[in-house]
Amino acid sequence: MPTTTINLTDGLSEWIAGKVASGNYNNASEVIRESLRSLRAQDERDHFELELLRQKVMTGLDQAERGEFSNKDMKTIIKDAKTKMNSKK
């Protein structure tokens, strides 16, 4: 396994030591690896959510070009959406 040297703030170093001291991790490397896996998973979720948002924006733009849009104000749209969500529960 490759080795990488990193510099940590005192606060991060203490946090890692606390994680190891808790008994949930055997050493600092395990804490760092788990933290990086968590960061990678969050990046993947963020990427997925951004792509989904882009698709929804494009759908909305396509609908607007076809004249498929609402003249309702934002308060009414939000109220209608909440009502619809509550009726599905």
Instruction: Locate the domains of the chain by residue range.
Output: 10-87
CA 41 from centroid of its chain's CA atoms:
9
**CA–CA dist 61, 69 (Å, integer):** 9
36-70 pLDDT, tens digit each? 999 999 999 999 999 999 999 999 999 989 988 88
**CA–CA dist 18, 15 (Å, integer):** 5
Q: Supply the pTM of this predicted model.
A: 0.66
CA 50 from centroid of its chain's CA atoms:
9
65-86 pLDDT, tens digit each? 998 888 889 999 999 999 989 9
Among 59, 83, 54, residue whose Cα is nearest residue 69: 59
